[in-house]
Chain A
Amino acid sequence: MNTAEQRSFVLNSSSGVGVLNEIFTVLPGSFRRLLTALPDSIQDKVEEVRIRQGRPLLLGLSHGDTFVSPEGRPTRLITEAYQVTSDDMERLIQLISCSSIYALEEELRNGFITLPGGHRAGITGRAVLDGGKVKTLKYFSGFSIRISREVVGAALKAMPYIIDVGGKGIYHTILVSPPRCGKTTMLRDMIRLISSGISALNFKGLTVGLVDERSEVAGCYRGIPQRDVGVRTDVLDGCPKAEGMMMLLRSMSPRVIAADEIGRREDVSALEEVLNAGVKILVTAHGSTLAELAERPALGSMIRSKMIERFVILGRSKGVGTIEDILDGKTLRSLGVKRC
C-alpha cells in the first residue's frame, strides 16, 4: 500500500516563531521567558508543549522531544530540566480559560479547550462525575498544547487526484491519518483550494460548508475564521458534526461539506445523508491504513459500501504531512501519486 512515492510538505519556517507567539498569551510568565530564550531553530519546530505538574516541561518537536533548562536552553538531561510548579499550573488554567472555568464545562467534559488561533490545549485532571458521566474536571494535572500551523499549499500536490474528471467538482474524499501527521493542516488547505479555486488546474472553486466542531480547522474566534479557509467557505463553528452537516445542507446549499475527525456513528449516518443529497464530502478520520479504518465499527460499513471515491493516506515517513498514498475508492488501487 505504501509503494507510491512519498512526499512531504515543508513547514513554512518563517511562520514558525510567530505561531509560537500566539500561544504565549495563554502561558504564564515563567514559560514565556523559557520559550523566548530558545533558539529560533527550535522555536520553529515546536509542535506541542507538554506541561505536567511536578515534572519537567517537555517540548514536542518534529523529531523527538526535548526538555528545557531554567535558562531556556534545550537539554536532554532530566536533572537540568525546568520543573513545572503548582503555581505554573494554576496560572496556566486561568490563562487558558480566560479566568472563566465556569464557562468551559462542555470543553472540560471533552478534555480540551481550543485557544485563539485554533491551537488545542488538552487537559487532564480529576474527573467530577454526575450520574456516572463526566461532568467536569478539577485538580488539573497536565496540559498538552498542540500548535496548529497553517501550511499554505500543503495540499496542492494531492488536488489533481481529488478534482473530478470534468474539473467541475470533487470526489468524495476521506483523509486517513494517524494523530500528529498533519491531517487538519491538509484538510484546511484542501478546503482553501477547493473554495478559492486553483487557476493552474483551471478549477473554478466551489461553495464549501465546513463544520468545525473543535474550532481547529478555521481557528474561529467569536465565529470569524482566523485561518484562510477560502472565499467560498461557510464555517459552522463549535457545532457537533452530525447536526452541523444537516444544518449546512439545509441552509447554505453547499457543493462540498467538510468536517474533521469523523468517527462516531451519528457522524457517519449524517455523512450518508449528505452523500445521498448530491453534495460531495471531504472529511478526515483517524487511522494509519485503510484496513485499520475498515475495522472501525461506524466507518467500516461506509467504506465497504464503496461510496467514497478517494482515500488520501497521510503519514510522517518523510516529515509531517507526507502523502503516503492516494487510493481510488472503487478499486482500492493506488493512483500512483508519483505521476503528478
Chain B
Amino acid sequence: MLKLVGAALVVIASGLGGIAVAANYSRRPKELRSIRSALQMLETEIAYGSTHLPEAMSMVASRCDSSIAPIFIRAASELTSMTGATAAEAWEVSLSSFSPGSALKQQDISILRNFGSSLGISDREDQIKHLRLASEQIGMENAAAEEEAVRNVKLWSYLGFLCGLMIVLVLY
C-alpha cells in the first residue's frame, strides 16, 4: 500500500514539474504579445495624443498587461525624477532591471534596447517608424516563440508524467 502511495507521489511530482517547465515556455509569447500591444499604445499616444514621453509611459503602464508594466513604470519614474537621464538611459535602466525576472530572451531584449536608443530624440514620423520597426520585430520573435511554445508545451507536459511513470517502473 505504502509503495503505491509513493509511486503515485512520484508520478504527480514529476508531472507537475513538467507542467511548470511547459508553462515557462508559454510565458514568453505572452510577454511578447503584451509588449507588442504596449508599443502600439505608445505609438497612439505619440502619434495622436502628442503626449510627453514620461506621461505616455505611465499611461501605457496603467493599461498594458501587468507582466510587462514594470518596464514602463520604471522608465517613466526615471524620466520624471529629473536626475538628468535621457530617455535612452531611462529605458536602458528599466530594461536591465526587468529582464532577469522575465521569460524574454536576449534577442527580445536587444530589440527593445535598439528601439530605446531612438526614443524621444526625433520628430513624430521618425518616432512612429522606430515604434513600428520594434513592433514588427517583436511580432516576428513572437511567431517563432509561439511555434516553439506549442512544441515544447506538449512535449514537457507529457515528458513529466512519462518520466514519473518510468521511475516508478524501474523502482517497483
A102 pairs with B50, CB closer than 8 A:
yes
B86 pairs with A105, CB closer than 8 A:
no
- A29 neighbours in B (Cβ, 8 Å): 84
| Shortest distance from the beta carbon of A90 to any chain B beta carbon, whole Å | 7
Interface set of A (CB-CB < 8 Å, partner B): 25, 27-29, 32, 90-91, 93-95, 97-103, 105, 136, 138
- A138 neighbours in B (Cβ, 8 Å): 123
| In the bound complex, CA of A248 to CA of B81 (Å) | 36
- Interface residues in B, total, Cβ within 8 A: 21
- B127 neighbours in A (Cβ, 8 Å): 102
15 A-B pairs in the complex with CB atoms less than 8 angstroms apart: A28-B84, A32-B84, A90-B121, A91-B84, A94-B87, A95-B84, A98-B53, A98-B54, A99-B79, A99-B119, A101-B121, A102-B124, A102-B127, A103-B51, A103-B53
Given A32-B84, A101-B120, 18 further pairs, Cβ under 8 A: A25-B82, A27-B84, A29-B84, A90-B86, A90-B121, A94-B86, A95-B84, A95-B86, A98-B79, A99-B86, A102-B46, A102-B120, A102-B122, A102-B124, A103-B50, A103-B52, A103-B53, A105-B123
- A28 neighbours in B (Cβ, 8 Å): 84
- A94 neighbours in B (Cβ, 8 Å): 86-87, 120-121
Given contacts A27-B84, A29-B84, A32-B84, contact A101 B52 (CB under 8 A): no
- B79 neighbours in A (Cβ, 8 Å): 98-99
Chain A binding surface SS class: helix
| In the bound complex, CA of A138 to CA of B127 (Å) | 14
B50 pairs with A99, CB closer than 8 A:
no
- A99 neighbours in B (Cβ, 8 Å): 52-54, 79, 86-87, 90, 119-121
| Shortest distance from the beta carbon of A142 to any chain B beta carbon, whole Å | 18
| In the bound complex, CA of A27 to CA of B126 (Å) | 25
| In the bound complex, CA of A327 to CA of B54 (Å) | 49
Contact with A along B45-64 (1 / 0, CB 8 A): 01000111110100000000
- A90 neighbours in B (Cβ, 8 Å): 86, 121
| Shortest distance from the beta carbon of B145 to any chain A beta carbon, whole Å | 30
Given contacts A94-B86, A95-B84, contact A100 B53 (CB under 8 A): yes
Closest B residue to A128 by beta carbon equals B123
In chain B, positions 22-78 with a C-beta closer than 8 Å to chain A are: 46, 50-54, 56
| In the bound complex, CA of A97 to CA of B55 (Å) | 13
| In the bound complex, CA of A100 to CA of B50 (Å) | 8
| In the bound complex, CA of A226 to CA of B110 (Å) | 42
Centre residue among B84, B90, B120 by max chain A CB count within 10 A: B84
